[in-house]
Copies of this chain bind each other. A is one copy, B any other.
Amino acid sequence: MRSLTTPPAVVTAGASMFADSLTAQGVEVSAVRWQPPAGDAGSLATVMGDPRRRAANASALEAMLGAQAHLVDVQPAAEALGLERGQLLHAGPPVSWDQASGPMRGALVGALLLEGLADSPEAAERALAHGDVTWEPCHSRGAVGPMAGVVSPSMWVFCLRDEAHHATSWCSLNEGLGKVLRYGAYGVEVIERLHWMSEVLGPLLQRAVRAAEPVDVRAIISQMVQMGDEGHNRNRAGTLMFLREVLPAMIDSGLPTSDVAEAVRFVSGNDHFFLNLVMPACKLSCAAAADIPGSTVVTAMARNGTDFGITTSGTGDTWFTAPANTPEGLFLGGYGPQDANPDIGDSAITETAGIGGLSMATAPAIVRFVGGSVPDALATTQRMYDITVGENPAFAIPILEFRGAPTGIDVTSVVRSGVLPQINTGMAGRVAGTGQVGAGLVTPPMGCFTQALDALAAAVPPA
């Protein structure tokens, strides 16, 4: 008997006991990450065996990549979305007052104060608890909202148009960081800022946008992912490029130069202003992929601060929900993990469209904001290619030699691999009225994907 002439190569999969034992004996081991699929094996087999799936997912990807996003108008939500007095929108899947988290309650309270529907936070809470006003998801009207995502009729919204698919999406104007409504704050300064946004900023942006060529938001996103922005928690370059596009028309608007200068200071002083344009652009991309029978591509990921919900192309508007995880990351000032609310906001639409946490590799500086390390950021995006159906060449990642962003999260890949989409996110304070407490990393609960898989399986026609 002859011994091996080269050292043996050992590859292990699954539970680590065997690999650990070999490593302890000084043997080099290549461990393959593998775990049993998370969901019902029968559902997975049914969906994987669906002969429509491959073509349906290819169509979904093609639709996502082909979506356009031009900023065509800025309007009050009452006009743009037909919101009536006493109607509100919010982030994530539907949620009742009883189930609503602190920041969601805080934002709803603030909206009632802004609209003059209550004259104190206490009165607002009573009105909300008694059902005097109604609220529904932004997504139910084709809109999106960051964090609590609360939109009331007098708030102004961006109107983005996808002419390729004859679709429109909307998003509120970004208020800045810290004590702001979307993080659940509703103090005097919050409401005053919102009044100024409705009275000065909105009308000025409307005039500028209407006077100039529609801003190609998707083209700006293409550039920003080459400038260290991943479009969810870093929007610095995007904000500056957007400002550059609308500036000349703002200056030429004929409105008082002091208002123009104040608006420019406000926009340029808020690195996240462009997030509220990235989000509806991503919504248009995801909406274009909706309602393709047999497609297992995720078309929305959204959180209301209590539950995380997803929708898929093959299952229409149905939300598959599970309790939201709480992000882990870096905290502002004296805040810590005990202050963080569970994951909240429609902003995970950025990840659904392939940027944000899925494209962390293009924004290595993000780790200073959300935690983690630069190699983690690169590894994360590499891993995301395992759970997506394709790549978006329009969002090319320079450090990955211009590989396109991983795009089109596939429910079957998530369930089979156990790899969950990576989300970069802001963290709201748990207690209503607090505001932002930090930023960090989070994943959706697997339950959303296993439920979606079961529904996709149920929708597969008998062979």
Which positions in A face B, CB cutoff 8 Å?
A: 6-7, 223, 226-229, 236-237, 240-241, 243-244, 247-248, 251-252, 257-258, 260-261, 264-265, 268, 364-365, 367-368, 373-375, 398-399, 401-402
Each complex incorporates copies of this chain amounting to: 2
> A-side binding surface: helix, strand, loop or mixed?
helix
**Complex formed: what's the CA distance from A223 to B240 in Å?**
13
* Choice from B236, B261, B368 contacting A248 with Cβ under 8 Å: B261
List 7 additional contacts besides A227-B227, A247-B261, A364-B398; criterion CB under 8 Å. A228-B228, A240-B243, A247-B264, A251-B261, A251-B264, A364-B399, A374-B399
Set of chain B residues within 8 Å of A367, measured between Cβ atoms: 398
Distance in Å: Cβ of A3 to nearest Cβ of chain B: 10
List of 8 A-B pairs having minimum Cβ-Cβ separation, nearest first: A240-B240, A364-B398, A244-B268, A365-B398, A251-B261, A227-B228, A248-B261, A226-B365
Using CB atoms, name the residue of chain B closest to A7: B6
Closest Cβ neighbor of A399 among chain B residues: B364
- Which residues does chain B contribute within 8 Å of A268, judged by CB atoms? 244, 247
Q: Quick one: which of B6, B244, B261 contacts A243, CB cutoff 8 A?
A: B244
A120: shortest Cβ distance to chain B, in Å? 36
Q: With A and B bound together, what is the CA distance between A237 and B240 in angstroms?
A: 8
A7 contact set on B, CB distance < 8 A = 6
What residues of B have a CB within 8 angstroms of the CB of A258 in the complex?
252
Q: Give CA–CA (A228, B64) in the complex, Å.
A: 27
Q: Which residues of the partner chain B approach A402 to less than 8 Å between Cβ atoms?
A: 368, 374
Q: How far is the CA of A368 from the CA of B264 in the complex (A)?
A: 32
